[in-house]
Amino acid sequence: MSQQSLVSYPFGRIPNNSAPFGTVPQDAEGFRTLPEATERKESHTLTVREVARMFDSAGVARTERSIINWCQPNKLGIPRLDAYFDPNERRYFISSQSVGLAIKEEQAKAAKSVGNSGPGSSVPKNSESPANRAPAEANSEVSNIPRLQQELMDLKITNRAKDYYIEQLKSEREGFALEREDYVEKLINSNRQIGELETKLLQLQAPQD
């Protein structure tokens, strides 16, 4: 074996071809599997940390982990927040419009929760009467009300997110159609100019009598 084929690293030293051992990503997004990069729009301006502060200021504090989960598709394949993952910066950028909608929805859920936990809300007043159904059965039905209300609220939130996502797709498709028409028109004009120039060139090259 020739000496040129040997790698001259110092004894006991490992080449630094990767990130240092034990390095922890600075941003919260680094702990998840990197999603597929999509096209970033002008509305994608807010970071996960900024969005978490907006929720905190609105009285419905949410962790950065929750914000990241909302940036990714749910079971129906629809993300709650309109976001773009930048593979270079390794973090999300979120649109303020979708954040505002999510804050309103969380505030509505919080108001519902406070209303359900108020005095006298857990058991109807007429449940104390002996003429009504057994207390155990009545309490069981009443205890299901918050769960059913939560499921209903989740469905409404999912539908709103779906409608918003569909509108975004429609807008992008319309913009693409207009851009394509513009390109086709420019191509036709270019072909016409090429034809005119070729005709002039042939006329100039024709032998003069």
**Neighbouring C-alpha atoms within 13 Å toward the C-beta of 139:** 4
Contacts by residues 142-151 (CB-CB < 8 Å, ≥ 24 positions apart): 145/116, 146/113, 146/116, 149/112, 149/116, 150/109
* Cα–Cα distances in angstroms (integers) from residue 32 to residues 19, 68, 82, 93, 110, in the given order: 17, 9, 18, 15, 28
Find the helix or strand (DSSP H, E) in which 116 lies. Answer: helix 96-116
Q: Would you tell me how many other CB atoms lie within 10 Å of the CB of residue 48?
A: 24
Q: Work out whether the CA dihedral 84, 87, 92, 94 comes out positive or negative.
A: negative
Query: Of 56, 89, 48, which Cα lies nearest the Cα of 72?
Result: 48
Tokens of 64: 């950065």
Residues 85/34, Cβ–Cβ less than 8 Å: yes
Over its length of 209 residues, how does the chain's per-residue pLDDT go in tens digits?
444 444 444 544 544 554 444 444 444 444 444 454 467 888 899 999 999 999 999 999 999 999 999 999 988 888 999 999 999 999 999 999 999 999 999 999 888 887 666 555 555 555 545 555 556 566 667 778 888 888 888 888 888 888 888 888 888 888 888 888 888 888 898 888 898 888 888 887 777 66
pTM as predicted: 0.40
Query: Of 34, 27, 47, 39, which Cα lies nearest the Cα of 92?
Result: 47
